[in-house]
């Protein structure tokens, strides 16, 4: 990997600051009541997996399994979900519609008809779009994509049908599957035990007849960023019209570029071999990001620019930049916390919904792209960014440009917390004096001037 001499000389410094950033990040992850699977901005968020037994068979049952994504802003994008469980006894899967297991396993004890899967712990994946109609059921075959509840409720569920053999044939003898695992496709979700619940009622299309499942059980899975990855994936940079300083993402937020063994390296944006590097390294580990070389090394950067000040309003420009050569983000979203979101007046070219995780808390908004316009955040490169402007109405009793008030308190990209610069590095108002909180960190703000990046902000 090529790395500029400036970066190798500042190697120790960036390593140190990287450690501090990671430390702060881990602290912020675990500062909630329970570190595992609790998101203060979406306290009830979960994925519920429901099994409805729709008929008994001579040696088991047929069930429709539906996954509902009840998370407000966290979705599962391509390459999609993977669902696993462990059978309680010697069950097999005779057949499936709308999905398949990744392995058949050892079915040698079956003569004649061979089951679809004989593994004790089957792993199921969705079928791809374009599956023949006779292998589809409603809500299947989307390549495992599960959209979020707020953004696209019509596509927030995913279903398949499974025919289970060597199983109980009544609601007294069926044994519930155990140890559910949900991957997206990486780690992050933890699933609870299956619980028998009231049987689901199905209403016919003309609403004139109701049928019900013979038996229903639910499994609830919750997400924890802490489980999903130990390093951040996203960072925030800041600027304002009242101060020339661009406060960059903290150095080494997501890795350090001077040491190739740390993160697997990066690609220079102007490298003449760019296309080859991206294509060549693609296949082996296509889920690990291949990022453009930056001081922060994050796949995603959110830039918040305080752009204009009017008498009764003020205006912010938000730019999301993708530095990952291996990822197009479909249906991306942002969650932003700022006290002025109780009075956002106008929003250009992004969708918006106010999130109120608790009664009275009204400072959090979810933003996402407009369909067919900017809901697709392209891989790193000339098209790898989306932007919007927000117009806030001032509440004269709270509004101020001092003490960094105009900057966001917290930002999530696709549900993952983005690392903010330390508060004492925020752009000051001329003549204002800051209150250093972590004086050591200021020195780590990178001094590398990059005209290109600057231009991207304006």
Contact footprint for ligand NAG (CB under 6 A): 11, 44, 46, 48, 50, 68, 70, 86, 171, 178-179, 196-197, 215, 218, 220, 243, 245, 247, 259, 261, 326-328, 342-343, 354, 360, 362, 379, 393, 395, 425, 427-428, 430
In the chain, the largest separation of any two C-alpha atoms, in whole Å, equals 85
Q: Shortest Cβ distance from residue 360 to ligand NAG (Å)? A: 6
CA-derived radius of gyration, the chain: 25
Of 135 and 337, CB closest to ligand NAG: 337
Q: Shortest Cβ distance from residue 89 to ligand NAG (Å)? A: 10
Q: Shortest Cβ distance from residue 76 to ligand NAG (Å)? A: 16
Q: Shortest Cβ distance from residue 26 to ligand NAG (Å)? A: 19
Distance CA 24, CA 188 (A): 20
* DSSP codes, 242-303: TEEEEEPPPTTSS--TT-HHHHS-EE-TT-TTHHHHHHHTTTTTTTS--EEP-SS--SEEEE
Of 167 and 327, CB closest to ligand NAG: 327
Q: Shortest Cβ distance from residue 125 to ligand NAG (Å)? A: 18
Token pair in block for residue 406? 């105009």
Contact yes or no for 407/238 (Cβ under 8 A):
yes
Q: Shortest Cβ distance from residue 12 to ligand NAG (Å)? A: 8
Distance CA 253, CA 251 (A): 6
Q: Shortest Cβ distance from residue 111 to ligand NAG (Å)? A: 27
Of 25 and 85, CB closest to ligand NAG: 85
| Three-state secondary structure of 80-122 | CCEEEEECCCCCEEEEEECEEECCCCCCCCCCCCCCCECCCCC
Of 32 and 70, CB closest to ligand NAG: 70
Look at residues 223, 245, 241, 206 and name the one whose alpha carbon lies nearest to residue 29: 223
Of 19 and 114, CB closest to ligand NAG: 19
Of 112 and 430, CB closest to ligand NAG: 430
Question: Do you find a cis peptide bond into 176, omega within 30 degrees of 0?
Answer: no
Contact yes or no for 118/92 (Cβ under 8 A):
yes
């Amino acid at each position: 990997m090529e790395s500029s001499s400036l970066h190798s000389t500042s190697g120790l410094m960036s390593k140190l600051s990287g450690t501090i950033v990671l430390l702060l990040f881990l602290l912020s992850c675990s500062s909630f009541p329970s570190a595992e699977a609790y998101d203060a901005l979406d306290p009830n968020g979960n994925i519920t997996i429901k099994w409805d037994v729709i008929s008994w068979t001579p040696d088991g049952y047929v069930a429709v399994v539906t996954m509902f994504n009840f998370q407000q802003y966290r979705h599962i994008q391509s390459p999609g979900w993977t669902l696993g469980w462990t059978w309680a006894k010697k069950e097999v899967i005779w057949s499936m519609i709308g999905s398949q297991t990744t392995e058949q396993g050892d079915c040698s004890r079956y003569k004649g008809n061979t089951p679809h899967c004989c593994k004790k712990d089957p792993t199921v994946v969705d079928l791809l779009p374009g599956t023949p109609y006779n292998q589809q059921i409603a809500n299947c075959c989307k390549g495992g994509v599960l959209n979020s509840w707020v953004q696209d409720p019509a596509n927030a569920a995913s279903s398949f049908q499974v025919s289970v053999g060597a199983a109980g044939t009544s609601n007294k003898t069926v044994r519930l599957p155990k140890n559910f695992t949900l991957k997206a496709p990486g780690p992050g979700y933890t699933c609870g035990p299956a619980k028998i619940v009231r049987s689901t009622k199905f209403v016919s299309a003309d609403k004139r007849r109701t049928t019900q499942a013979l038996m229903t059980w639910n499994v609830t899975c919750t997400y924890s960023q802490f489980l999903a990855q130990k390093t951040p994936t996203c960072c925030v940079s800041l600027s304002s019209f009242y101060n020339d300083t661009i406060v960059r993402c903290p150095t080494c937020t997501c890795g350090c570029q001077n040491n190739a063994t740390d993160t697997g390296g990066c690609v220079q944006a102007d490298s003449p071999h760019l296309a080859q590097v991206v294509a060549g390294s693609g296949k082996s580990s296509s889920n690990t990001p291949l990022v453009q070389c930056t001081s922060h090394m994050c796949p995603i950067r959110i830039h918040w620019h305080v752009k204009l000040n009017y008498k009764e309003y003020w205006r912010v420009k938000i730019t999301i930049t993708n530095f990952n050569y291996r990822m197009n983000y479909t249906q991306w979203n942002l969650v932003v916390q700022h006290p002025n979101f109780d009075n956002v007046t106008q929003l250009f070219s992004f969708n918006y919904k106010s999130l109120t995780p608790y009664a009275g808390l009204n400072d959090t908004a979810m933003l996402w792209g407009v369909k067919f316009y900017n809901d697709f955040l392209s891989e790193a490169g000339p098209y790898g960014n989306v932007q919007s402007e927000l117009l806030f109405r001032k509440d004269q009793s709270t509004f101020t440009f001092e003490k960094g008030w105009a900057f966001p308190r917290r930002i999530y990209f696709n549900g993952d917390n983005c690392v903010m610069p330390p508060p004492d590095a925020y752009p000051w108002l001329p003549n204002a004096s800051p209150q250093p909180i972590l004086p050591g960190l200021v020195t780590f703000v990178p001094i590398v001037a990059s005209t290109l990046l600057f231009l991207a902000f304006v």
